[in-house]
Structure 1
């Protein structure tokens, strides 16, 4: 049954906002993601043996119809 499935996307695309049902999405700041990815890549080049870093990106969960119970 369609009501047994919930779908969530990443990136808050326009297609997801205007589809039917509208798509729940996780939205993160692309500039933050890009800056952080470059900084991590440079750090890895400078210190190849360093342990992996754990980064939590600021984000928002935008609930829409694709994860709401049918009403």
Structure 2
């Protein structure tokens, strides 16, 4: 698995998974400057059909998630 820069600040890594008699699947991850306001983000693709975007943010002080929406 290798990492390539697909555009300035965005990196990609692709792997092919062999599931034996169930065939092969291709999984691809992209990270970098994807979600500009997030502290970190990644996009995961499975066989170019399914996509998941995950992004995180941080604050100056930690807060309890049960009280953060009040």
Q: Per the shorter chain, which TM-score range?
A: under 0.3
* TM-score between both structures, scaled by the size of structure 1: 0.25
Structure with the higher helix share, 1 or 2: 1
Structure with the higher strand share, 1 or 2: 2
Query: Which structure has the bigger radius of gyration?
Result: 1
* TM-score between both structures, scaled by the size of structure 2: 0.26
Relative CO higher for 1 or 2, CA cutoff 8 Å, sep ≥ 6? 1
